[in-house]
DNA sequence: AGCGTGACAATTA
DNA sequence: ATAATTGCCACGC
């Protein structure tokens, strides 16, 4: 059903549990820009602060870092420790098992 | 109906 | 390590 990638993106972002984060590329490796725009265009409130860039940093502001730290996300200096905070897609996708384009 | 924009990523220099 | 360039999909005008 559904949807378009935008809907899936929102669903994934909302599915991110506290203490974990995901990168835009993990949500949509084909169009990470889309993720950003969708989150900006969506009327739903999604925890963007749980979505960080591929290098673990964020575009919003380091203030969000404090917020992530409060959630229990392992931070590595100025970046998020993706090695430990990145949420495996097997879990999120485990619910729907979606496939994005063939690669 | 078309063009530009956007919370990015990956590659090359 | 940083800087610049290209590709991507959906939305807004």
In tens, the pLDDT along A38-97 reads 898 888 888 989 999 999 988 887 778 888 999 999 998 888 999 899 988 776 666 666
Q: Is the pLDDT of residue A100 over 80?
A: no
Q: According to the model, what pLDDT value does residue A74 have?
A: 92
Mean pLDDT to the nearest integer, A3-27:
88
Rounded CA-CA distance A97/A89 in Å is 9
Positions of chain C reached by protein Cβ under 7 A:
7-12
Domains and their CATH numbers in chain A = 5-96 (1.10.10.10)
In this complex, the answer to whether residue A30 has its CB under 7 A from any atom of chain C, a nucleic strand, is: yes
Confidence band for A98, pLDDT divided at 50, 70 and 90: low
At A50 the pLDDT is 92
CA of A54 to C1' of B11 (A): 14
Q: How confident is the model at residue A2 (pLDDT cuts 50, 70, 90)?
A: low
């Amino acid at each position: 059903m559904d949807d378009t990638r935008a809907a899936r993106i929102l669903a994934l972002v909302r599915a991110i549990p506290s203490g974990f984060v995901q990168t835009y590329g993990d949500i949509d490796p084909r169009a990470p820009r889309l993720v950003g725009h969708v989150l900006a265009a969506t009327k739903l409130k999604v925890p963007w602060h749980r979505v960080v860039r591929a290098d673990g940093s964020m575009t919003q502001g380091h203030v969000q870092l404090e917020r992530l730290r409060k959630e229990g996300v392992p931070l590595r200096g100025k970046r998020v420790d993706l090695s430990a905070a990145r949420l495996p897609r097997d879990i999120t996708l485990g619910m729907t098992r979606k496939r994005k384009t063939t690669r």
